[in-house]
Amino acid sequence: MKKQGDVLNQQRLRAFYRYNQAMEAGDAQVLAAVLAEAEQDSVLERMIMELNEVYQIEDRAVPHVDEVAEVQAMIVAQFGENTMSEKIQTPLVATLGQQDEQTRSKRPLIVAQWYQKRATWVAAAVAGLLICLAILPGTSVVAAQFLALFRPQQFQAQPVLNPQQLRRDFLLYVQNFGTVDIQPIEKTAAGDDYNTLPESRMTRADVESALGHHISLPSQLPAGAGPQLQFSLFRGEQGTFVFHSDQVRAYLTQTGQSSVQIPAQLDGATFTINMDSGVIANYYASCQINTQNDRVCRGGTPFLLTELPTPIVKATGRASLNDLRSFMLSLPKLSTDMRSLIQHLDVNSGVIPIPIPETIAAQQVKVQGASGLLLSDSTMNVLLWQSNNIIYAIGTTGGDSAKIMDAANSLR
């Protein structure tokens, strides 16, 4: 059963990665193929929905798997009847930094034709980032973790001009600065194999048994949220990044930055990031059992809670985390957004900057005595905080920030 679950999870990760790359490239054919897979897999569907929330903060619209029939009709009309039956093969590691402006412009032109009108909440720079830490395969995981090389204690909003380019820069630097190895943590904290039970059918007790600790849930919900609750677990991972000076030197020469000195102590420096398993709790209006015996839930005001243990980083070798930070800041062609983000990273105090578009309002708040970060606009509210070595992120639609604060303060 465990091996079957691991194989299924790997298939989901590959499908999720294909979807992510297709969103960037505007590849409607691959998008439609993955959405068709998600229609038969509720876990993959939820993973895609989380990624869509990340993109909504940039595009202000979200595709949803309920629209698969409409998508397929559009693809058939555009590409012909055989398109949907063809096997899609997309490399797991896409070529980075080589998209020209014409390619980048395809995504809003193609994807926008079938974007869902439904207004789901956006966790983009916060919950979306944290979720991606756990579910994206390969270098994408470490790309998101690249600045989280310590135990976060407090979050600080950092406006960025181009979120898409920042994400590409993360991947580009990780690929060119060393090697990455991602290994799943085989067991949860309690030693249970939660793949023996369909996630869609899990109760709170099942989740707590799998994770090995109590999870907090709100007693107050925003109007229209719930009452049905559905959990999604994501397996813990250990990511190892090894800095290689020869790779970095080749990159610096290629990009016209050959005058930059690489500190000798960075060569071979190893940074290991450990993150235990976590949970996502979604609230819906109703649920039903489908033909695959999955509990499928829909409707109601979107409301989501993410809980995951704070990542822990260990550095081995002669280099410190501040050595890596200082080297990054020495690069003359470091983008403005990347430089600002790294400058606001405080390794010593545990302050981590959260990149957000300039259109999102941010304020520091108190959540049950802990320092929190509230992100909001007229369509959504997202709240992020850390307490007792657990990171919490909750979000909902609507512009009433008081409702999400009430929900956060009611967690027990």
The residue to which tokens 């990665």 are assigned: 17
Give the separation between CA 93 and CA 383, rounded to whole angstroms: 32
pTM over 0.85: no
CB distance 151 to 312 below 8 Å: yes
Q: What is the amino acid identity at position 271?
A: F
In order of 82, 158, 226, 273, 360, the CA distances from 355 in angstroms are 42, 5, 30, 20, 10
Sequence-separated (6 or more) residues with CB below 8 Å from residue 300: 224, 225, 226, 228, 283, 284, 285, 286
CB distance 232 to 296 below 8 Å: no
Secondary structure (H, E, C), 342-392: HHCCECCCCEEEEEEECCCEEEEEEECCEEEEEEECCCEEEEEEEECCEEE
SS3 (DSSP) at 311: coil
CB distance 357 to 57 below 8 Å: yes
Rounded to the nearest 10°, the torsion over CA 34, 39, 45, 48 is 30
Sequence-separated (6 or more) residues with CB below 8 Å from residue 320: none
Give me the phi and psi of 372, to 5 degrees please. -130, 165
CB distance 28 to 60 below 8 Å: no
In order along its 412 residues, the chain shows pLDDT tens digits of 545 555 676 678 778 777 877 776 666 677 777 887 887 787 787 777 766 655 544 444 344 444 444 444 444 444 444 433 333 333 333 333 333 434 333 333 333 222 222 222 233 333 344 333 333 333 333 333 333 334 556 787 888 888 778 878 887 888 899 988 888 876 544 444 444 455 678 899 999 998 889 999 999 999 899 899 999 887 788 888 899 999 999 999 999 999 999 999 999 998 888 888 889 899 999 988 887 777 888 889 989 999 988 887 777 778 888 888 899 999 999 998 889 888 887 767 767 788 888 888 899 999 999 999 998 888 888 899 989 889 899 988 877 889 999 999 999 9
Residue 389 zone, left/alpha/beta (φ > 0; ψ -120 to 50; rest): left
Give the separation between CA 399 and CA 384, rounded to whole angstroms: 16
